[in-house]
Amino acid sequence: MNRLPSKEERRLRSLVQAHDRWRGREVFNLLPSENAISLVARRYLSSDLAGRYTLPVVTEFDGETIDNSYTGTRYTDQIEQLANAAATRVFRARFATTRPLSGHIAALSVLAPLLPRGSRILAIPSAEGGYDGYAPGFLPALLGYIVRPMPADRPGFRVDAESAIETIRRERPSAVVLGQSFLLFPYPLRAIANAAHEVGALVLYDGSHVLGLIAGGEFQDPLREGADVLFGSTHKSFPGPQGGLIVTDRDDLFHELDPALVWRTFDNAHWNRIAGLAQTLLELERWGPEYAKTVIASARALGKSLSDLEVPLVAADDGFTRSHQLHLDRARLRKDWSLGAGALARRLESQRLLIDLAGRIGTAEATRLGLRTDDMARLADLFVRAGRNEERVGPEVLRWRRTFHDLRFR
């Protein structure tokens, strides 16, 4: 028996090591969908919990009532309770679950138990910055819903209070799902919630992109402004492991959706992830407000610096953003730079700066890494030089990147 790692095992190890080196030490990540996880949370991700089950559900088994299908879970169950309690504190909510395996699964876990097949929902179309998962062929097809468009206007794909109210009164949906992958400005939530509640609709706030900002008391406060449920991904502006969570103040809704989680959208909730998420929640309990304020201030500062260097961005008149995102104005980019957003992203990538190919730029991971608001002018300068292909800035980016060793806000 050959005890040495196989060729494929060695190749796998070197790919993972190369990835970790490149993404962890050699590029600035400006993708708004990602973030950096603290070393402690990472340590929990690779702990023994990674391979364990627990199913703390009371069931009848051959006439015997059991409170868990597994033994060996005495610590796992306490870790979950700690995570959920931290989530209720951070989001100032009465109820929380950290079980959903991702933002998409959180959406599915909220929608399926609360809305029967045949329900009509309002959601922002993906062509207007909405999340593709709410497009007719995806979650609505799976769950048997009729989805109608909630309009969001350019530039910046903003939902306008008046047209939202008019749409809600006309469509009389069972739920309004507020959630966008392109999200710069808060929703006029009080007005939307009042109109929705008037027609008996639930307001389901998918905060996947802005969850870390909401945790820090910025952007908006969905549960206080009228949302019935807040849910989303825990790894975009929220700097935790990939996963999802759901919070609400409404016990009637929580008691509908919480027992429906297990066996409808997953079985085992991945306890290493929940330990890592608990750690991130505790980090945000200490640092959340400062982190969230810095992310937004840096996004606005980066917007100003890029715009001063003639990078076309949307919403310049409104300070570019109130979130962690900036959006390239793709039409002006094509006209002024003769370049698509995707081609620009590939150029930047070759010089160690990552943005997405749809033209979104984000400051969440850079902030966690330690870049401050006054660093944004230098970042914009590197961005523009790399984007213009004027000179090779990759080595300069690398030298600067290597000066950031430890994450902040942890």
Ligand X SMILES: Cc1ncc(COP(=O)(O)O)c(C=O)c1O
Q: Which residues bind ligand X (CB under 6 A)?
A: 33, 102-104, 107, 131, 133, 179-181, 206, 208-209, 233, 244
Give me the residue whose beta carbon is nearest to ligand X.
103
For the bound state, the minimum distance from the C-beta of residue 398 to ligand X, rounded and expressed in Å, comes to 29
The count of other CB atoms within 10 Å of the CB of residue 294 is 23
For the bound state, the minimum distance from the C-beta of residue 206 to ligand X, rounded and expressed in Å, comes to 5
The dihedral formed by the CA atoms of 381, 383, 384 and 390, expressed in degrees to the nearest 10: 100
Q: CA of 362: how far to CAs of 30, 295, 356, 398, in Å?
A: 5, 9, 9, 19
C-beta of 208 vs 280, nearer to ligand X: 208
For the chain, how many residues are written? 410
C-beta of 220 vs 373, nearer to ligand X: 220
For the bound state, the minimum distance from the C-beta of residue 360 to ligand X, rounded and expressed in Å, comes to 10
Enter the tokens of residue 329: 């104005």
For the bound state, the minimum distance from the C-beta of residue 232 to ligand X, rounded and expressed in Å, comes to 6
Q: Which residues of 368-394 are buried (b: 16+ CB within 10 A; e: fewer)?
A: bbebebebbeebbebbbbbbbeeeebb
For the bound state, the minimum distance from the C-beta of residue 181 to ligand X, rounded and expressed in Å, comes to 3
For the bound state, the minimum distance from the C-beta of residue 104 to ligand X, rounded and expressed in Å, comes to 3
- DSSP string for residues in 154-178: TTTTBPPHHHHHHHHHHH--SEEEE
Enter the tokens of residue 117: 């097949």
C-beta of 181 vs 373, nearer to ligand X: 181
- DSSP string for residues in 242-262: S-EEEEES-HHHHHHHSTTSB
Q: CA of 158: how far to CAs of 116, 179, 230, 321, in Å?
A: 29, 11, 19, 11
Contact of 152 with 128, CB cutoff 8 Å? yes
C-beta of 112 vs 339, nearer to ligand X: 112
For the bound state, the minimum distance from the C-beta of residue 245 to ligand X, rounded and expressed in Å, comes to 10
C-beta of 131 vs 157, nearer to ligand X: 131
The count of other CB atoms within 10 Å of the CB of residue 153 is 12
**Could you give the CA distance from residue 95 to residue 38 in angstroms, rounded to a whole number?**
26
C-beta of 28 vs 131, nearer to ligand X: 131
C-beta of 226 vs 241, nearer to ligand X: 241
C-beta of 113 vs 244, nearer to ligand X: 244
For the bound state, the minimum distance from the C-beta of residue 95 to ligand X, rounded and expressed in Å, comes to 20
β-pairing, 120-123 vs 64-66, is unpaired
